[in-house]
Amino acid sequence: DCRQYTNRTCEECLKNVTCLWCASSRTCMEYPVRRILPPADLCELRSARWGVCWVNFEALIIAMSVVGGTLLIMLGVCCCCCCCKKKSKRQVLSGPDKDDERAAREREKRRVRQEER
């Protein structure tokens, strides 16, 4: 039972992985497994510790959000880079584009005019 570690240390409480330590009230309680985060009436996020004593839930949520956001941005950049590479390869494989064709026609017209002169 986790309650037997109340008013002891965080380390003693968290030796049992099913326990949650609330630093503000110095209580050890069963982790509410039906919920992802412990409710505020049980313990504030900044005081709640689970697994290790040096990380609170508030810092954990912020850190995971930053890491997740960074990964999403990196994924988006990679997708854009891949799409741009494929697009440029398609243009190279499909031959000259309209601007190149127009410039070639203009050169040909100038060449024909010069020959006529």
Which of 43-47, 74-78, 96-100 comes out lowest in average pLDDT?
96-100
Q: The tokens of 105 are what?
A: 């026609």
* Residue 93 in this model has a pLDDT that exceeds 70: no
Element (H, E) at 78: helix 57-94
Going by their DSSP bridges, the two strands 48-50 and 27-30 should be labelled as: unpaired
Output Rg (C-alpha) for the chain, integer angstroms.
33
Q: What is the pLDDT of residues 45-54, one digit of tens each?
A: 999 998 899 9
Q: What is the pTM of this model?
A: 0.61
Secondary structure class of 27 (helix, strand, coil): strand
